[in-house]
Amino acid sequence: MSVSFSDLSGSSVVTGNPLSIAPMMDRTDRHFRYFLRQITRCTLLYTEMVTSAAIIHGDRDHLLGFSPEEKPLSLQVGGDDPAQLAQCARIAEDFGYDEINLNVGCPSDRVQSGNFGACLMAQPERVAEAVAAMQAVTRLPVTVKHRIGIDDRDRYEDMTAFVETVASAGCRHFTVHARKAWLQGLSPKENRDVPPLRYDDVYRLKQDFPHLFIEINGGITTLEQARDHLQRVDAVMIGRAAYDHPFLFATVDRDFYGQAVEPPTRQAVAEAMVPYIARWVGPQFKLNRISRHMLQLFNGQPGSRAWKRHITENACRVGAGPEVILAALPETARSPFSLALEAP
């Protein structure tokens, strides 16, 4: 989805998607994405990272399947082999994704052992080769998510050399996690918090590469912060805050995308999930695989604790379905619709 946001950014790039929700392992699966779509229709969503080997050799329908309502949607891929990544790009286009994103930011040991993720920042030519191979076989935008730097290779000049090399292969969209990554000594969780944020380096990157679409990521928890960043860069990616406070995005379509829509209520979001849940739950699929993503819907509101407790205690029982969600609604959020559906 391409929208104008020149009122939010002074950048020379005037089209794109100003907000996205970061790819997060064990979080941004298809059920979370469908849930988020009941809150925001416009924000760009990402899959969890899927390795190139899994896409080529695994169960593609299971790994890559999504509902049309989830779009606009980007597939994040992890890998380092240009030929394999090109094959993944073709597959992504065939599945109907809107974009393919190469992960050059994950610092986990498992990812490093496959020679992809953040360690690829030390191999910009390899990343450029991969980007060129993907772009040669697909019409989809090929984007890159990376860090400020890795280990002792974390000077601003190191990042610009990486970006310049990859941009020479045709990449025009860079999402920068505004921290360096330590490939040894810190866990992935610690790498999200311990290295200091360096927003100014991302702002400077946009100044030095005005023709590129620069998106900032890392430590952004409010829409006010997002607006501030959009004065200096083209887009903002929000991660954990989107999962822990999903209703944060309720006003985004109106306020960031100019859509003439009223923000949904939390009750309406919960009720909109009822038919979706009914389609999925069954003997081989428990409610908690969807409901776990909904636990924070009432975060910070009266009744939030009871909402989470009721769902947690009931979502794993045999036969649990949409009635668990409706019964968990705080009294203040119940509607005639939800009460009628709860009735035996």
CA diameter of the chain: 66
Q: What is the CATH number of the domain that holds 312?
A: 1.20.120
Q: 124-135 vs 156-167: helix axis angle to the nearest 10? A: 30
- 68 within domain boundaries: yes
How confident is residue 1, by pLDDT bands cut at 50, 70 and 90? very low
Residue 249 and residue 294 in one domain: no
Share of the chain residues as helix, strand and coil, in percent rounded to the nearest 5: 45, 15, 40
Residue 105 and residue 220 in one domain: yes
| CA separation for the pair 312, 56 (Å, rounded) | 36
Residue 53 and residue 144 in one domain: yes
Domain end among 208, 226, 255: 255
Residue bearing the bigger pLDDT, 30 or 183: 30
Domain end among 220, 255, 290: 255
Domain end among 234, 255, 276: 255
pTM of this structure: 0.91
Is the confidence at residue 12, as pLDDT, over 90?
no
Please name which of 77, 78, 55, 64 lies closest in space to residue 29, comparing C-alpha atoms: 64
- What would the DSSP string read from start to end of 111-149? HHHTT-GGGGGG-HHHHHHHHHHHHTT-SS-EEEEEES-
What is the mean predicted confidence (pLDDT) over 299-321? 96
Count up the domains in the chain and report the number: 2
Residue 131 and residue 241 in one domain: yes
Please name which of 26, 27, 32 lies closest in space to residue 269, comparing C-alpha atoms: 32
- 260 within domain boundaries: no
Please name which of 302, 316, 314 lies closest in space to residue 342, comparing C-alpha atoms: 314
136, 215 Cβ separation under 8 angstroms = no
What is the mean predicted confidence (pLDDT) over 283-290? 96
Among positive and negative, which fits the CA dihedral 285, 247, 226, 16? Answer: positive
Residue 147 and residue 199 in one domain: yes
Residue 281 and residue 200 in one domain: no
Residue 97 and residue 231 in one domain: yes
| CA separation for the pair 166, 169 (Å, rounded) | 5
- Which positions are annotated as active-site residues? 106
| CA separation for the pair 135, 241 (Å, rounded) | 32
Residue 140 and residue 215 in one domain: yes
Is the confidence at residue 343, as pLDDT, over 90?
no
Q: What is the CATH number of the domain that holds 40?
A: 3.20.20.70
State residue 5's pLDDT score.
37
Domain enclosing residue 152, as ranges = 3-255
Residue 35 and residue 134 in one domain: yes
How confident is residue 116, by pLDDT bands cut at 50, 70 and 90? confident
Residue 86 and residue 147 in one domain: yes
Residue 103 and residue 241 in one domain: yes
Is the confidence at residue 332, as pLDDT, over 60?
no
Helix (H, G, I), strand (E, B) or coil at 299: coil
| Chain centroid offset of residue 233 CA | 18
